[in-house]
Amino acid sequence: MNYVQGLIEILGSILLALVFSRVKIIWGRTTVAAAVIAAMMLLIRHLPIVFGIHIAAGVLMIFLFIVWSTNANKSLVFLAVFASFFCLATIEFCLNQVFMYLNVLQIDDATRNSKIWLIMGYVQAVLMVVLALLLRMVLKPVNYWKSEVGKAKDNTLLS
């Protein structure tokens, strides 16, 4: 996993989890958290342990980040993080199918052809961010960051 692609992908996952948790998006905090979580997931992925454990670690880290820094309900955050990763898996599956249908990617060569795999990862990551921004227009925030309690709350598109 390329770090930049992983960073955008985790950023999209955090954004979607925040939107599903109905928390206002603050780009600076979210981007820093995504950078740290993506780096930790990359390190965990390269450890000689069970394949896929980095996904469980990512789910846990995103859950803890949102619970510790917002006033959102823990149960809602738990479901939101899993829904976010479900969206990620669905987008990845659909892109795999599209790339295979167009004969751009063969299932046998999927991980060996790193350029196509990387391009597919970037498209998937950007789609996650776009999906979060679109859903934010529908799901208005009702929960806020703990550091913003009592401050003015605006719902601008790029707040």
pLDDT tens readout for residues 17-71: 999 999 999 999 999 999 999 999 999 888 888 777 888 999 999 999 999 999 9
C-beta of residue 62 within 8 angstroms of C-beta of residue 14: yes
In tens, the pLDDT along 78-132 reads 999 999 999 999 999 998 888 888 877 676 766 666 777 788 888 999 999 999 9
The residue extents of the domains of the chain are 3-145
The answer to pTM > 0.75 is yes
| CA distances from residue 47 to 6, 31, 53 in whole angstroms, order as listed | 17, 25, 10
CA-nearest of 129, 157, 142, 123 to 31 is 129
C-beta of residue 79 within 8 angstroms of C-beta of residue 40: no
C-beta of residue 150 within 8 angstroms of C-beta of residue 71: no
Helices (H), the chain: 3-20, 27-45, 53-69, 74-101, 114-138
